[in-house]
Chain A
Amino acid sequence: MRTFAKKVLVVVALLISATYVSNAQVVYWNGLGRALVTGSWLNGNALKSDPGVGQQKDTTSYRKSTDGYTIFDLGINAQPNEALRAAVILRLSNSFGGFYGDGSQFLFRQLRLDGVISKKVKYEIGDIDIGLSQYTLYNFSEIYNDYESDILRQRRSVVEYENFNFGNKWRMQGANVETNLRFTQGIEKIGLKFFATRNKRYTAATNPDRFMIGGRVDVMQSRNIQVGMNYVYLWDALRTINNPSLTPTNKNQVLTGDFKLSHFMDKIDLSVYGEVGMSNNAYSVNAMTDTIKTTDHFYDVGASVKYKPLLLKFWVNYRDVGANFFSTGAQTRRINDYGTPNMFSYLNNTVVEPGVMAPGTRQVTMLDYVSDQNLRNLNLQNSLMVYNPAYNNITPYGQATPNRKGFTIGGSIGNSEKLIKADVIADLLSESVSVGDTIGKELRKYTGVKGGLSLNLHKLLRYEKGIVLTLGGRYENTVRTGVNAISLKSTLVDAGLTVEVVKQLDLIGGVKYISAKGSESIYLRNIYNEITNPFISYNLDQNQTLISYGARYRFSKNTYFSVNGVRQVVKYTQQNNLNYNIDQVFFNYTMIF
């Protein structure tokens, strides 16, 4: 209590100081306030006995759960001049169950100094968001959700805010410097960007400090010709721990070059673009002097044509990403598919993947993807994380997924401001080298089609209030022939409707359906990123349906209150005794200022 009071006094002192200073300097406020309440119920066959298959009644798993919190993030920004802005976000949070403030927490959520020096050099120090290309430093989405319904996207946004998933950048601690050099002839500008960050703090006797440096140089000769280079280097600082000789360490370097050649006409734009690069990855082996090194390369080239009057665009890409291409910053997943979900963590009668899940752990589902704040991964990993093939088997590690080659073809039309926005993308990929089939050395072939549309129906109907329909889908088919045949099909469908019934009051609804059937293998990797034996053979015939419906009142553009009903149905076609449902009521008040 005394500590909490001290912290409040610090905040008050800061506020008073800021107010005093504001007479001569600029101080402004921003922030977010949010209150969430979730009531959940678990039911289904998985909790009941089934003598036919020898299933006993589950008497230990929780059937009900209530959760919630109130948070207030206050952003204080002091900008005495253009060269310096100090921005801090202070968080006051109170989880439900805390009693009269005793359960409250006060902490610094974010601290950053930034500014522009001499109107040329932009810098940031502290908690910063950094991204480069899709093969160097990129925080990719874990599943196709471009046309996710508004109601589920709103739910997901809470999780993403809590985990600093702002766009496709990674939240890091360090410094970033950028500048543009402009020229009057020859070259239009050269952009320079450098950063240095610490990704993991040392734990004495266990883990060394982990650092990352990198940057980008891009040369824009004109709007027709652009070339660039990206570089990232991540390493473990061995001498920051007690017994350096026993701790495996990693060094990962990725160097890429990219280009874009464009030709602009009145109605048509043509572009040829691409990125090529290589990675060098080395691990020092425990108590030995040898290292495990891998080097590999990739290239990704494409062309596009855009018909400007209709905002109609077609593109085709070809890429070949080597099996040993490893980029920590680009291939780290933001979700742990086999983590322990926060809600109804344990379920005695459930499908468990031996070796990746502890017995009795409930498998992560679509509802956990959009609502569980603790499944997210904030740290760059120095080996490929295990993933669930049902959710994304073609690009589980983003565009930079290793051991993929083939074409990607796509088309899009419109944008979100128009009547319609739609796109469709087809992936025709295969492995570069066989994984796991030492007999026939057959390659997996991946066929994927994804796309959707967002239709502003109110424009079509000439209705003054908003009606937005979203439809999206993704189909994946993985096939390998031969002795070790593999066949996995998965389908994901998103549908959503938002109707503004009266001014600022919306009725919102959405459905997400995913089904997966077939067999695949899950490969575990050790700390040296080597595929380990044993394999895990993954046989699945499952579908999940996530339905959400409710109402939302928008006080302003950034302030709303919504109440949702949610139902998640999980079905195993061949094992009906393991089916279960989760029903939820979810209240969300969010204010952004």
Chain B
Amino acid sequence: MLRNMKMNKIWVVVPLILTLLSCKREYTDKGVVGPTQIMASKDFKVTAPFSAPIDPVLFDLDVCEEFAATFNETVSWKIIITGNTSKGTKTLSGTSDKLDANTAKWCGSHDGLYFFEAGETVTAELIVSGSTTTYKTSFTIGSTLNYSAPTSNFQLVKGCDFETGAILGFSQGQFEIPNATFIKVLAQNETIAAPEGVYFCRISGKSIENNGFFVAGIQHRGKDSTATAFFPPDWTDPTKIFLNVYVRGIDNLMTGYRPFATLNFEVDENDNDLLANLTNCPYASGDGFCPPNEDGWVFKIPITHQGWKLFSCRYSDLIPSEDGKNGGFGNRVLQPQNACRVQFGLVSSPPFNFVQADIDFACMTYGAPYDPTK
């Protein structure tokens, strides 16, 4: 009986193995995985030297750098571009026997955290697969991409690159709340580099409100009293609109540190349009937004990280404002075309703590979160 049981166990195990052995792997027919890679042979030569002919390159005029080189054989290569000042980086790669406008073109985007800066010298290093020799060239960025100009799927929150060195002011739709004491536009220095350009904005302080939560913020208003929509007219689908901002967290964050600071990235929608009833709405102004009767939609960013980080949120994932006096009682329907204000608010929780958040390059995108590599 024991022998029968042993045989039974074997008859269970063997078919299990055979079943798995017969499973075909999805890549078996292709015979290869991973990207193309062709290494240089021992006879590899660069027959025309590696160069960046456009110098300086003006990215804001839609001019791209077109690297050039010719090889005596087809190889896999990569070009690593590094900003000498900004430390921005970009990597191009491909497999070909030459570099030209079709294979090695750079139009100003970046891969890492930092954007390239206008006026800086960049170094491009060509590395060929299988070759120990690298080739370098340098050129200057005359101007960077023009982020102020909106496109069909990108819109900078006005003034939120802070490159004027200051808050724009009420007349231009950007102002401090409650006052300028809490808001500083700072130039980058040896310890803190701005992700984009040379300036970033710091919101810091201790709340002067009775409840001690809200510290300070920056508000951006759309057009004037005609309440023209904040977003382009074809940005209607809340699932396709994204809010993006670079936020710098806390240095030397101790293990288990409690996140006192939260940055609220808020979009306010003018649902009720009380332009004609300003007496009932002491906070209303030319944009028609009456805070106690409208919708405020919030992207909460707890400041628990270190260094700069890009945060993105889909419009449809925004949560309603918890402040009844400011955006807490609208129609509770996401209506991007009703958006008339965007604001950043720094909150302390628990209340009455000194908190700080650095922000830069707040923007809206349509279709996908902001991707600086593209």
Contacts and interface: CB of A to CB of B under 8 A. Distances in A.
Nearest to B243: A243
Interface in A291-310: 295-297, 299, 301
Contacts of A403: 33
A428 interface: no
Contacts of A438: 32, 35-37
A523 B35 CA distance: 10
A interface, by DSSP: helix, strand, loop or mixed? loop
Contact of B9 (A221, A436, A441, A483): A221
A243 B313 contact: yes
Given A354-B127, A531-B34, A533-B35, A433 B28 contact: yes
A97 interface: no
Contacts of A436: 32, 34-37
B34 A523 contact: yes
Nearest to A434: B32
Contacts of B21: 299
Contacts of A259: 9, 13
A537 B130 CA distance: 6
Task: Please classify how large the interface on chain B is, using the bins under 10, 10 to 19, 20 to 34, 35 or more.
Answer: 35 or more
Contacts of B91: 355, 534
A204 B39 contact: no
A519 to B, nearest CB: 7
A292 to B, nearest CB: 13
A274 B37 contact: no
B16 interface: yes
A324 interface: yes
Contacts of A355: 80, 91
Given A225-B9, A434-B31, A437-B32, A286 B369 contact: yes
Interface stretch (B176-184, B266-274, B294-302): B294-302
Q: Most B CB atoms within 10 A — which of A205, A441, A485, A521?
A: A205
Interface stretch (B52-60, B99-107, B304-312): B304-312
Contacts of B309: 206
A222 B9 CA distance: 12
A403 B32 CA distance: 11
Contacts of B300: 204-205, 242
A521 B35 CA distance: 12
Interface string A302-324: 00000000000000000000111
A435 B302 contact: no
B20 A243 contact: no
Interface string A234-248: 000000001111100
B276 interface: no
B78 A287 contact: no
Nearest to B77: A534
B127 A243 contact: no
A227 interface: yes
A539 interface: yes
B129 interface: yes
B33 A323 contact: yes
A409 interface: no
A485 B80 CA distance: 24
Interface string B130-147: 111000000000000000
Contacts of A434: 31-33
Contacts of A297: 20, 23, 25
Contacts of B128: 537
Contacts of B302: 204-205
A287 B10 contact: no
B27 A324 contact: yes
Given A299-B17, A434-B32, A287 B368 contact: yes
A245 B93 contact: no
Nearest to B79: A534
Given A242-B299, A438-B36, A519-B130, A221 B5 contact: yes
B38 A204 contact: no
Contacts of A257: 13, 16
A261 B285 CA distance: 83
Contacts of B33: 323-324, 403, 433-435, 531
Interface string A215-231: 00000011011010000
A535 interface: yes
A460 interface: no
Interface in B27-68: 27-28, 30-39
A221 B37 CA distance: 52
Contacts of A539: 132
B353 interface: no
A205 B304 CA distance: 10
A265 interface: no
Interface in A188-221: 203-206, 221
A246 B313 contact: yes
A287 B242 contact: yes
Contacts of A227: 9, 12-13
Interface string B100-132: 000000000000000000000000010111111
B37 A243 contact: no
Contacts of A432: 25
A439 interface: yes
A276 interface: yes
B103 to A, nearest CB: 13
Given A243-B312, A484-B39, A287 B369 contact: yes
A242 B25 contact: no
Nearest to B23: A297
A278 interface: yes
Contacts of B132: 539, 574
Contact of B32 (A243, A286, A301, A435): A435
Nearest to A519: B130
A204 B33 CA distance: 36
Contacts of A531: 33-35
A287 B93 contact: no
Contacts of B221: none
Contacts of B32: 433-438, 441
Contacts of A485: 39
Contacts of A323: 25, 27, 33
A539 B301 CA distance: 44
B237 interface: no
Contacts of A301: 17
B37 A276 contact: no
A483 B305 contact: no
B374 interface: no
A434 B38 CA distance: 13
Nearest to A222: B2
Contact of A534 (B9, B78, B317): B78
A301 B17 CA distance: 9
Contacts of B98: none
Nearest to B93: A534
Nearest to A439: B38
A298 to B, nearest CB: 8
Contact of A243 (B5, B131, B314): B314
Contacts of B319: 242
Nearest to B21: A299
B234 interface: no
B39 to A, nearest CB: 5
B153 interface: no
Contacts of B17: 274, 276, 299, 301
A278 B314 contact: no
A517 B304 CA distance: 44
Interface in A431-482: 432-439, 441
Interface of A: 186, 203-206, 221-222, 224-225, 227, 242-246, 257, 259, 261, 274, 276-278, 286-287, 295-297, 299, 301, 322-324, 354-355, 403, 432-439, 441, 483-485, 519, 521, 523, 531-535, 537, 539, 574
11 contacts: A225-B5, A225-B6, A225-B9, A242-B300, A274-B17, A276-B16, A287-B314, A438-B32, A483-B38, A534-B78, A535-B129
The 5 closest A-B pairs by CB, nearest first: A534-B93, A534-B78, A436-B37, A533-B35, A531-B34
